[in-house]
Amino acid sequence: MDTHDELLAKIRSKSVLVGIIGLGYVGLPLARAFAERGIAVLGFDVDEAKVAALRRGESYIGHISPAVVGRMREEGFDATADFERLDEPDAILICVPTPLTETREPDLTYVVNSTRAIAERPRPGRLVVLESTTYPGTTREVVLPILAAGGLRPGLDFFLAYSPEREDPGNPVYSAPTIPKVVGGLDPASLELASALYENIVVGVVPVSSPEVAEACKILENTYRSVNIALVNELKLLYDRMGVDVWEVIEAAKTKPFGFQAFYPGPGLGGHCIPIDPFYLSWAARKYGMTTRFIELAGEINTAMPAHVVSKVADALNDRGKPVKGSRITLLGMAYKKDVDDPRESPGFELMERLLHKGAIVEYNDPHIPELPSMRRYPEIRMSSRELTDEYLRSLDCALVVTDHSAYDWQRIVDHAPLVVDTRNALRNVKPGKATIVRA
């Protein structure tokens, strides 16, 4: 039996040991999916605190409870910060961040380091799958040469594929097992093995002809969202000047049963994917002598939204005879989206930085994020969530709605805060209260 057939037999019998590098919002739910199907998982992470928490049966992700982690442990899940153990798994899935540099170029440091760690512990007959979002060509041009440098032959001694993550944190309907998985193999043998592996845990596998197609698929999905969000953000600015309610316009438009999908404006893009992925494609396009004008324009519009919101806050305070400097402003919500505890790329950080720069006294409340973590771009912003007592709300000059968490009692906020600037249409159903309400 050759290495391909041996690994395929392990996958189909569920005796395969899966290694997952990166136990964040993508890697940990993926580990859960495998564990719940009776497949042993060894998770790797450089953050020893995360590893220790998982080994204690604790969770650091809101939608994965400690009880779930406990069940995963019972089903054979283990976590480690010891990358020497990378020689143990039969299949390794790379789920690490792919941020942008300060000049908005792809930063593949985590992907490269993970691949090198695998290559330093060669093992014939192993499958490696990259899941991190990246530009078309990364698997073949970056990952493959590192794995092959030691003399192992792709498609014979090791197998390589790309399968983009499609995790949507906090989504009550779709999770890793219920979302179809796109898979692109470097060769037919790699495609067969990767497809068979994911067939154990997902509702359906969508095989494509190459890793490049799978990589481009992920970029398309998020660029589609970025461009459409930019459209409604620009319309928000226009309709605001016209005195037209953009939210009511969208609600009316979405009654059309075909040809329209509703997207909503906001204070800026957040999350690891939509603010970043389109710039990966723009960077790749420049390598081919092209400029992606549509994508870059969308990026310009979306990244300008925090400045627009701060301007609206300044105007609203000015109307009340107050300068931004010295005003007490609290941001409601620091997660990048509703009802999650994920602050990655949240526009709240830029809003906070801009307001602090203008001399405001800025605090925040988020029922899902009791302490702000250290962020790569905002390492100096560290504080704790303030309790929204009636007295505290009355003491503010402005409450700024950044994230419309379901836990917020919007009526109580409007009844006590003197001014609320709403970037999410969160106050659409509240009765008039003490607060002056301004939409931004």
In the predicted model, what is the mean pLDDT of residues 176-192?
95
In this structure, the number of other CB atoms found within 10 A of the CB of residue 152 comes to 16
Share of the chain above pLDDT 70, in %: 98
Is the CB of residue 181 less than 8 Å from the CB of residue 206?
yes
> Which pLDDT belongs to residue 289?
92
In the predicted model, what is the mean pLDDT of residues 305-310?
96
> Which pLDDT belongs to residue 379?
67
Residue carrying the six token digits 């906090």: 170
In the predicted model, what is the mean pLDDT of residues 340-366?
94
Check if 273 is active-site.
yes
Confidence of residue 378 (pLDDT cuts 50, 70, 90): confident
Residue of 95, 217, 273, 398 marked active site = 273
Buried-exposed string 323-338: b where 16+ CB fall within 10 A, e elsewhere: ebeebebbbbbbbbbe
Written as one string, the DSSP assignment of 371-396 is BPPPPSS-TT---BPPP--HHHHHH-
Confidence of residue 73 (pLDDT cuts 50, 70, 90): very high
| Better pLDDT: 365 or 178 | 365
Structural domains in the chain, CATH included, are 3-209 (3.40.50.720), 219-302 (1.10.1040.10), 304-439 (3.40.50.720)
Please give the structure tokens belonging to residue 248. Answer: 């009511």
Flag the least confident range among 232-241, 274-283, 285-294, 367-376.
274-283
What average pLDDT does the structure give for the chain?
93
Confidence of residue 397 (pLDDT cuts 50, 70, 90): very high
Is the CB of residue 256 less than 8 Å from the CB of residue 262?
no
E-assigned strand segments in 209-317: none
| Better pLDDT: 217 or 287 | 217
Flag the least confident range among 119-123, 187-191, 376-380.
376-380
Q: Which residues pair with 205 in a beta bridge?
A: 181
Which residues 6+ apart lie within 8 Å of 360 measured at CB?
324, 325, 326, 327, 328, 329
> Which pLDDT belongs to residue 236?
96
Task: Give the residue among 280, 271, 263, 237 at the shortest CA–CA distance from 111.
Answer: 280
Share of the chain above pLDDT 90, in %: 81
In the predicted model, what is the mean pLDDT of residues 113-126?
95
CA 66 – CA 53 distance, rounded (Å)? 10
- Give, in degrees to the nearest 5, the angle at Cα 217 between 216 and 219: 65
CA 358 – CA 408 distance, rounded (Å)? 27
pTM tops 0.75: yes
Task: Give the residue among 311, 308, 284 at the shortest CA–CA distance from 295.
Answer: 284
Residue 277 has pLDDT above 80, yes or no: no
Angle between helices 347-357 and 305-319 (to 10 degrees): 50
3-state helix, strand, coil in the chain (%, to 5): 40, 15, 45
* pLDDT tens-digit map of 214-266: 999 999 998 999 999 999 999 999 999 999 999 999 999 999 999 999 999 99
Which residues 6+ apart lie within 8 Å of 339 measured at CB?
170, 368, 405, 406, 407
> Which pLDDT belongs to residue 272?
64
Looking at residue 154, what DSSP letter applies? B
In the predicted model, what is the mean pLDDT of residues 412-418?
96
> Which pLDDT belongs to residue 26?
92
> Which pLDDT belongs to residue 271?
62
Confidence of residue 273 (pLDDT cuts 50, 70, 90): low
Q: Position 89: which residue type? A: P
CA 27 – CA 132 distance, rounded (Å)? 10
> Which pLDDT belongs to residue 195?
98
Looking at residue 85, what DSSP letter applies? G
